[in-house]
Structure 1
Amino acid sequence: MNSHKSMTSLLIAIFLIALNLRPAVTSIGPLLDTIRNDLNLTNSEVSLLTAVPVICMGLFAPLAVHWLNKFGQKRGISLLIVLIGLLTLIRAWLNDYVSLLVTAFVIGVAIAIIGPILSSLIKEKFPTRTASAIGVYSLGMGAGATLSAGLTGVLYVWIGEEWEYALAFWSALALLAYLVWFVAMKPEKNEATVVIEREHVATSFRSPWTNSRAWLILLFFGFQASLFFSLTTWLASAASELGFNVIEAGSVISVLTVSQIVANIFIPLLLEKFPNRSFWIYSSLFIGTIGIVLLLTGNVALIWPASILLGFTLGGLFPLALLLPLDETKDAFEANAWTAMVQTGGFIMGGLVPLAIGILYDWSGTHQMTYYVMLALIVGMFVVTVLLNKGNVKALVER
């Protein structure tokens, strides 16, 4: 019974930690035009506020291995969640462009380190229920994105059109996460025991940097991250282009992220019963393709069903992208290294693509090119999935 309670409290803690891994990025989207106009920025400059933390999530993901070795799971994540909370809070007072970029940078580094550590924790603590635990993790991130994207515009109006306070509000999530995490995590093992365990697994450790399947998984993660951050950064702007106000544009993002949460809940549950990863990937990509085609029509009314379909796509792809490196690894240490490698390249892609969209938008003055970029990302994921499946068949033949 105690063990069951312990695992339940740990899942709640994982959910709350994950809840903090998106608001610093996704809260910018609904206020993108407001911040741009207030600070006299170009589309390219304002898109850096979301691109920088995402690129940092990639560049600094390898630090997760060293951070875990130095601080362990409990203290390591505690320090990082406090950092995210404090830097989100000070946006209320440090609200010039440079300060926003600096906080975005450091928050991105913290998120980069937390992600692989959480994945390795799930691999270690939930070896037989990995898909379900990853579902809780991805649900937390989806919920954080939904709350921040949907309510930031409302907060902005309610507070009195002070965008800096609307952004800083989300620091409250970090305090809640810290308290629950600190209670849920038991004291960690003696450091000497941990070192012995790491030495034991080192002999069979497979480096992801020399593994072709790891590189394919990196590409898949990068394409889905690019699609997610492109949509959360630019869909509200695309709605504004169609004549929507701040609240209405934020509602479009809310619809996207609510449908994403629905998929976050049901896809991992379905994976427990029907574990074929490829089926769910292809299904998600097909739904996403329909959503992009609806956006390409330019019909104002179709932006709503398009948002629902694309939300299902994002909600299905993200837990699958998190599961792929865990499927390939044997233990928590290897999972940490593979996840760090995959997220290194994946989040760099996820940060650069929305930035490129901002440049294209400045150049073209329309979001039609944005939709074609998103369609290309879906095609890329389809190709990578085909290649991963071929690799699986080859491995079975060689056995």
Structure 2
Amino acid sequence: MSEKQRNSAMGMMVLAILLVALNLRPAISSIGPMLEPIRADLNLSNSEVSLLTAIPVFCMGLFAPLAVLFGRKFGLKRSIAILLLVIGSFTLVRGFFPTYPVLLASAFLIGLAIAIISPLLSAMIKRDFPMRTAALIGVFSFGMGLGATLSSGLTGVFYTIADWPLAIASWSLLSVVAVVIWLRVEQPTEVKAVKTGIEEIVRVSPWKSKRAWYMLLFFGCQSALFFSMLTWLAPIAIEKGMSVLAAGGVLTLMAAVQIAGNISIPLFFNKFPNRLGWIITVLASGTLGILLLMFGSLAVIWVAAAFIGVALGGLFPIALLMPLDETSSADEANSWTAMTQSGGYIISAFMPLIIGIVYDQTGNHDITLMMFLVFIIFMVVFAVLLNKKSESIPQDLTEKNL
């Protein structure tokens, strides 16, 4: 393959990864702006309509381990294509059958598909681009953030043009584009002299590794911080005296900074590879943002949102990279990623609800902000434990890397 062909293949792969990642959030985040129209139209309670966003996140944790089985049964590329079609099909179904049972079933199946795709895509990045994992994980996380932001912002615009079923079903078009591009990509020949494909047997189970458990808990804490901020930052700003419109702007600012961090921070990982240093840096930014929320004036909330966005923008790609740094094959990366995301998303699925219960009991968000700081403390602890390498990398993995 010539240099021009290699660059073209690389460009197509980057585009394909971006498009796949774009599909992993809109089916969930497009529901948020439509919760009230859905609730009113279908005569639902607040708890019933909240299940439409809670179920997919819980499924993302519960079914992530199936990624290992899918990868071995169908292969990485075919599995991702099939699951993209599942996401697109059940997003589209919502537009033609806008009933509560259909919405619940689609939420479950879409969450299942997202749960499986994420580890598979990480495994493919590990297999095909072992020297560029950080940059492509940045593309991966950027795509997810961009998909969430676009769907949160544009679904309301679509609603002004059509009704809510068509507004949420319109995001199915993304999967069509993604599948077409995904099936056209070819693996660049430059990536590895010896393939370590999905068929390779995992030699060390991550469930028996302390380091994998540290990664799981780190992923859970960063994910809990993200979903809790997404859910509660605007109400916190409103409680401190902001208007609803301004609070929405604060949330948008946080999301915009986070997306910028998703794509830009990983670009520096190869030049400055110290993961602990990056974790401490972005967590320091998050801590400063939370302290500004706790003690700052109303105007400072905007600055706080930017600092928190930096933290969220760096933490997610770091959490995605942890299993890839630890493993030496696509199969192992798939297994470790599935484990960390499985437990991590289950942990994070309950955090916004717990914060809501605490808020109902206390009437203010003082404890909420303290909980955010606790998440950060836990992440520092797990990052230090991983950096110490107290449990050394298994000998057989070390030998394979020599």
State the TM-score, normalizing by the size of structure 1.
0.87
> Please, which of 147, 151, 164 is the counterpart of residue 148 of structure 1?
151
* Correspondence 1:236-315 to 2 at 5 A: 236-239=234-237, 242=241, 244-245=243-244, 248-297=246-295, 299-315=297-313
Greater helix fraction, Structure 1 or Structure 2: 1
Residues 218, 342 of structure 1: 8 Å contact kept: yes
In 2, the alpha carbon distance for the partners of 1:233 and 1:36 equals 18
Unaligned runs of 5+ in 2: 189-194
CA displacement at 1:168 relative to structure 2: 2.5
* Correspondence 1:89-100 to 2 at 5 A: 89-100=92-103
Mean CA deviation greater in 227-236 or 58-67:
227-236
Q: Which residue of 2 aligns with 1:28?
A: 31
CA displacement at 1:92 relative to structure 2: 3.0
In 2, the alpha carbon distance for the partners of 1:294 and 1:228 equals 17
Structure 1, residues 79-100: CA drift from partner, whole Å, max 9, x if none?
A: 1111111222233344444433
2:161 partner letter: I
CA displacement at 1:249 relative to structure 2: 4.6
Unaligned runs of 5+ in 1: 188-193
1:123 partner letter: K
> Please, which of 333, 336, 342 is the counterpart of residue 340 of structure 2?
342
Identity, % of aligned pairs?
53
1:391 partner letter: K
Residues 53, 104 of structure 1: 8 Å contact kept: yes
Structure 1, residues 30-75: CA drift from partner, whole Å, max 9, x if none?
A: 4556655666666555443322111111110111011111211222
Residues 197, 329 of structure 2: 8 Å contact kept: no
Structure 1, residues 145-202: CA drift from partner, whole Å, max 9, x if none?
A: 221223334444x336x44433323222212211111111469xxxxxx9x9667x43
* Correspondence 1:36-75 to 2 at 5 A: 44-75=47-78
Describe the shift of the 1:198–1:16 C-alpha distance in structure 2 as closer, same or farther (beyond 3 A): closer
Residues 359, 368 of structure 2: 8 Å contact kept: yes
Describe the shift of the 1:374–1:83 C-alpha distance in structure 2 as closer, same or farther (beyond 3 A): same
> Please, which of 379, 382, 393 is the counterpart of residue 381 of structure 1?
379
Q: Which residue of 1 aligns with 2:87?
A: 84
Q: Which residue of 2 aligns with 1:135?
A: 138
Mean CA deviation greater in 176-185 or 316-325:
176-185
Matched, 1:112 2:110: no
Q: Which residue of 2 aligns with 1:191?
A: none
* Correspondence 1:131-210 to 2 at 5 A: 131-156=134-159, 158-159=160-161, 162-185=163-186, 201-202=200-201, 205-210=203-208
CA displacement at 1:304 relative to structure 2: 2.1
In 2, the alpha carbon distance for the partners of 1:168 and 1:239 equals 31
CA displacement at 1:27 relative to structure 2: 2.7
Q: Which residue of 2 aligns with 1:215?
A: 213
CA RMSD of superposed structures (Å): 2.9
CA displacement at 1:16 relative to structure 2: 0.6
Residues 44, 355 of structure 1: 8 Å contact kept: no
1:314 partner letter: L
Q: Which residue of 2 aligns with 1:14?
A: 17
In 2, the alpha carbon distance for the partners of 1:198 and 1:84 equals 23
In 1, the alpha carbon distance for the partners of 2:368 and 2:178 equals 35
Q: Which residue of 2 aligns with 1:190?
A: none
Aligned length: 386
1:310 partner letter: I
CA displacement at 1:310 relative to structure 2: 1.3
Describe the shift of the 1:107–1:244 C-alpha distance in structure 2 as closer, same or farther (beyond 3 A): farther
Residues 33, 237 of structure 1: 8 Å contact kept: no
CA displacement at 1:139 relative to structure 2: 1.1
In 2, the alpha carbon distance for the partners of 1:253 and 1:165 equals 25
